[in-house]
Amino acid sequence: MKLKSILFAALLLCFSRASAQEAGTAKTIVKADAIYYGAFVSENPIPSDTQIVASPLEPFRRYYTQGQIVYLNKGQSQGIKVGDLYQTLRSLGVFKHPFKKAKLGYYNEQTGIIRIISVQDTSATAEVYDTYNGVMLGDIVVPFQKLTPPEARPYGKFDPMAISTGKLTGQIVWARDSREQLSTGDVVIVDVGERVGVKLGDYFTIYREQGSDGILNYADFEFGMRRSTGGSLRFRGSEFAIDRPVEGRDVLRRRYDSSTMPRTNVGELVIIRVEGTTATGVVVRTQGGEAFVGDKIELQ
């Protein structure tokens, strides 16, 4: 009996811990690396007057990671103090809409967080506090701002065939790490932002219109059959004995507009950062099919 009591107590403890972990997971909508190490498209260029300009390791390393030392081109005269936290950004120029080719803004990759450990008059020494994929010479340095992730809402039913709500729509135009196929936790950029009313914590349905192309087209499926004249003279049978396709899928799509067909809802994302013309989001679920860069989104 004593052994059974011990086993029962152990099982109860395991279930309690599992429930606590599930509850914690449900409340945590995004991880830190999604908030601080994604990317964003700013409406205007980020000022580049403060940068990482040197490191004692620069003859040996291209990327600097946690605990390594870098030098800034500004110091005490410019108001930098020991203990200050800064975020490092890699600004890579104009970002154009990959599907419409219009300019959306300026692309900025969030590379890390540094902490000032020593200050000189016109320079400063910093330690890499945290990083996603490495800090580099030339990275822009801006004051660190603590971001508050949006609160998770109760996990509800997802309808892959739900019809449009008629609300704001947009498109996924980028995903971190050059991903094309998206899964839960992936950081993305969408082509709608503050100018059209997008707010931190907004949920969007990810959907795909009927007939839209996937990443790869494996075949040009054909339909309908036509009578064949193939086969031998003796054994070919009737004129329908050997058939072959007569029309391609593109013929049917020209005949019947795909935009009039039901769409497929493939997931959800939540907005974690808002700029003027764009916003950064995190995919919180995929269901009813894989989500891709290029998929449409609609405000819930």
Please check whether residues 135 and 178 belong to one and the same domain: no
Q: Are residues 269 and 228 in the same domain?
A: no
Please tell me the least confidently modeled range out of 30-39, 127-136, 163-172, 226-235: 226-235
Per residue in 215-250, pLDDT (tens digit) is: 555 555 555 555 555 555 555 555 555 555 566 667
The overall average pLDDT reported for the chain is 81
Specify the pLDDT at position 32.
Answer: 64
What does the alpha-carbon distance between residue 56 and residue 58 come to, in Å, rounded to a whole number? 6
Which residue range forms the structural domain that includes residue 194?
A: 169-210+262-299
Residues 64 and 122 occupy one common structural domain: yes
Same domain, residue pair 103 and 187: no
Least confident range of 120-124, 128-132, 159-163: 159-163
Q: What is the rounded distance in angstroms from the CA atom of residue 164 to the CA atom of residue 94?
A: 33
HEC readout, the chain: CHHHHHHHHHHHHHHHHHHHHHHHHHHCCCCHHHHHCCEEEECCCCCCCCEEEECCCCCCCCCECCCCEEEECCCHHHCCCCCCEEEEEEEEEEEECCCCCCEEEEEEEEEEEEEEEEECCCCEEEEEEEECCCECCCCEEEECCCCCCCCCCCCCCCCCCCCCCCCCEEEEEEEHHHCCEECCCCEEEECCCHHHCCCCCCEEEEEECCCCCCCCCCCCCEEEEEECCCCCCCCCCCCCCCEEEEEEHHHHHHHCCHHHCCCEEEEEEEEEEECCCCEEEEEEEECCCCEECCCEEEEC
Burial of residue 140, with CB atoms counted within 10 A of its CB: 0-12 exposed, 13-18 middle, 19 or more buried: buried
Residue 235 is predicted with a pLDDT of 57
Residues 63 and 110 in one domain: yes
pLDDT at 263: 85
- The answer as to whether 24 is a domain residue is no
Same domain? 122 vs 203:
no
Question: Is residue 61 situated within a structural domain?
Answer: yes
What tokens does 104 get? 């959306």
Please state, in angstroms and rounded to a whole number, the distance separating the CA atoms of residues 70 and 252: 61
The band of 17, judged by pLDDT with boundaries at 50, 70 and 90, is very low
Whole-structure pTM value: 0.76
256 pLDDT above the threshold of 90? no
Minimal CA–CA distance to 208: which of 156, 272, 280, 264? 264
Question: How many structural domains are present in the chain?
Answer: 3
Among residues 215, 198, 211, 207, which one has the least CA distance to residue 271?
A: 198
Q: What is the pLDDT of residues 194-204, one digit of tens each?
A: 999 999 999 99
Residue 28 lies inside a defined structural domain of this protein: no
What are the φ/ψ torsions at residue 3 (nearest 5 degrees)?
Answer: -65, -40
Are 125 and 235 in the same domain? no
74 compared with 163, residue with greater pLDDT: 74
pLDDT of residue 89: 96
Based on the domain organization, do 179 and 137 belong to the same domain?
no
Residue 101 carries which side chain, given as an amino acid letter?
K
Give the model's pLDDT for residue 223.
56
